Structure 1
């Protein structure tokens, strides 16, 4: 990785942290420039517009999520252990990282704002839901889950648990948010087992 790309990755890490606190809409090239001690023109050379910066931040956050949550899950044995690994990593990362989940806050910001950022968020969420459903399908093919179980419904329900976790953890500051979420996932898996 060259110096320019290394600088860009460092800037994106800071931008992702800022967007997690202030939202994607609150992230500007000017505020980011002062945070990373670069000129606005230097940052503009990397991103060209606020929207391009937002898209790059989403890509950075997506890759980070894939690396820290999805890849470890895919390395686990197929079936329930794979699903549990995904949930465990997702909760661990969410508890370790402050200020929270960039995607959850961006969803609220952009759910009714048409354009490229919203379109990318929709693609990211569809990809995530398909990844969860596919992990569940492998559990069906391994004989761990009922053959008539609905992978898309499982993905929907699991994502609902995670949204509940973010709300309880971030807004409500509930110290039991993770344990309650684990119990909710246990119930989903109990319902899906043969």
Structure 2
């Protein structure tokens, strides 16, 4: 039973890794159990046993993307000192993550937010939740910059959250469109200028 369980866990992770790549290129709506089965040379019934429906597959794909993003971006960024170094580390890690094409179509969440921004349902609700959590995280790190004296008292936190998110999404979009990495460099330069940082 242990061997069967391990194989099941492996199959699920391999399936979700492929699902994330598909979603960043063709959208979450581009995911089907049949397509994954064919591409991974697995039985459709086997994949169905893991997810049960297209919607459950979409939700599991989002969770998997969160896990990968946490490992590549969030955990390393939080090793940086509190305040501006940590906020810059988070932004830099985000840009490096997209630049490296850890997911085939760049930033997973930029892609799915654009795909589901005018929809309703469980997947939309999860995407909105992630967007709010991300903005709250940026807001907390900006507030820490103020507490550490790295940003002035009275800084408009919500405005700065908007600007950082917009710059990151624009860099991801423009780089994918033009196949050029210079957009990431421009975004990081803009963020450093906005935060009054050098280097």
TM score, norm. by length of structure 1:
0.93
Q: In the alignment, does 2:82 pair up with 1:78?
A: yes
1:58-69 to 2 correspondences below 5 Å: 58-69=62-73
Give the structure 2 partner of residue 31 of structure 1.
Answer: 35
Question: How far off is 1:99 after superposition?
Answer: 2.2
1:21-60 to 2 correspondences below 5 Å: 21-60=25-64
Match of residue 120, structure 2, among 104, 109, 114:
114
Number of aligned residue pairs: give it. 191
Match of residue 100, structure 1, among 99, 106, 121:
106
Match of residue 170, structure 2, among 164, 170, 177:
164
Runs of 5+ consecutive residues of structure 2 not aligned to the other structure? none
**For 2:185 and 2:88, how far apart are their aligned partners in 1?**
13
**For 2:88 and 2:46, how far apart are their aligned partners in 1?**
43
Runs of 5+ consecutive residues of structure 1 not aligned to the other structure? none
Give the structure 2 partner of residue 12 of structure 1.
Answer: 16
Stretches (4+) displaced over 4 A: none
1:125-164 to 2 correspondences below 5 Å: 125-164=131-170
- State the Cα RMSD in Å: 1.5
TM score, norm. by length of structure 2:
0.91
Question: How far off is 1:68 after superposition?
Answer: 1.0
